[in-house]
Structure 1
């Protein structure tokens, strides 16, 4: 490689770099050190380390691309290792065959070849309808998330001399919460002279616990009046 002298746009002389044979050298910014490698299936490139500036590539970008690559098994032409242990579309063990043979059988069945155990040696592949299988798996995961319940703690407040109509209303609310799979915190509050006869409040609280014992269990119960109140926590029987 030789170094010549040329004219820069501002009229000053600038060095020209030539590769052997008189051809211009490839500028550093266009060399392989700066190119982005393509990530299959993402439509994006992962930038390599910038040796000129010393800056690493966008780590979040790289991590996202790698997560994409490992989220699904290798399918059809993505499978590289041969031989493979083949399972046919009916779930029957075919045995160890070459990768070309496995692909040929998948083509004959008009289905896909999916790598189901990449860490096994030889890797295990199965003939299946990959699009349909993936759709069913996503549907099952969606249903599981939909059916998964996050338990909440609801609160019911009582007074020592709660009248029967009010008590029945609050009892229905408590039972409704429990049947939905939620915990219920029953708080009985005393005011003023009501503390002179705490047994009245205890009887009201015990009545609530007795009226829900068929669908709930007492997980926590105050042993004494604290802060002018008694507290009981109920858990639905089917919560476990």
Structure 2
């Protein structure tokens, strides 16, 4: 991915990316985004942009496998998180959803994943330690809770379902406090221009709306131009 596109994606919000994807596709109806309200660890942080490193966890009940097996799988998980085409982001499905209790994303795991070079995390599960987790590694989660439960890694590198969307290993994601989406591979190289188009089109209305003297007559005038320009 071009560096200038990566910088741009980190600066803009996920709704703008969602609109820009539809500009590239030439129609409305893009649907690979999360449903429902998610919670963000650092609402003012830059967007999470990265190629997905996927895994599944659980924590409501103790693991049934021997402890050496679960410990070995956890280290295999960290090895998987540490590799991949950069930039990368952790995308972790909690299989106990919607009854998740296991706060995988707390002070320790945020520090570890940040240290391994990932850009952030998206999960349908639990985050905690919000007052002390490191800056520079935002987490978008399904809930907040105090416990780690019996958290253990179940699968590594397989497709995951996060709040209604399936995300495969190495798919490019964009996420902020609005939610997360998958950027289709065939739109990536056209996305920079499409983002500029979205911003330009919206300025047709936003500029006049924020000026003194804006009224319904002016709205009728600029809205016609806006409708003609937007997807």
TM-score, scaled to structure 2: 0.24
Relative contact order, CA 8 A, sep 6+: which one is greater? 2
TM-score, scaled to structure 1: 0.23
